[in-house]
Amino acid sequence: IIIPVFNEAGSLERLLDRLYDLPLAERAEVFVVDGGSTDHTRDVFLECARAHPRLYFLEAPRGKGLAIRLALQRAKGRYIAYMDGDLQYLPEDLPKIASALEHGADLVVSRRRLVWADDSTRRIFSRIFSGVVSGRMLHLNASDPQSGMKALRASLLHKLHLSERHWGLDVQLIEQAQQAGASIKEVDISFLPRDSGRTKTGFVSTSFDLLKTAFRAAGARAGKIPPARQKSGKSAIRAASRSRRRV
- Torsions phi, psi of 59, nearest 5? -95, 135
d(CA 92, CA 15): 10
CA dihedral 183, 99, 195, 56 (to 10 degrees): -90
- Given strand 184-191, what is the order of strands in its sheet? 184-191, 107-115, 149-153, 79-83, 2-5, 30-34, 55-59, 245-246
- pLDDT tens-digit profile of 87-134? 999 999 999 999 999 999 999 999 987 655 455 544 555 556 556 666
Average pLDDT for 6-24: 97
What's the confidence (pLDDT) of residue 167?
Answer: 82
What's the Cα-to-Cα distance from 150 to each of 25, 81, 112, rounded to whole Å? 16, 6, 12
Assess contact for 54 and 127: CB atoms under 8 A.
no
Q: Which of 94-103, 186-195, 199-208 has the highest mean pLDDT?
A: 94-103
pLDDT recorded at residue 228: 41
Write phi, then psi, for 6 (nearest 5 degrees): -150, 110
Other Cβ atoms less than 10 A from the Cβ of 19: the count is 22
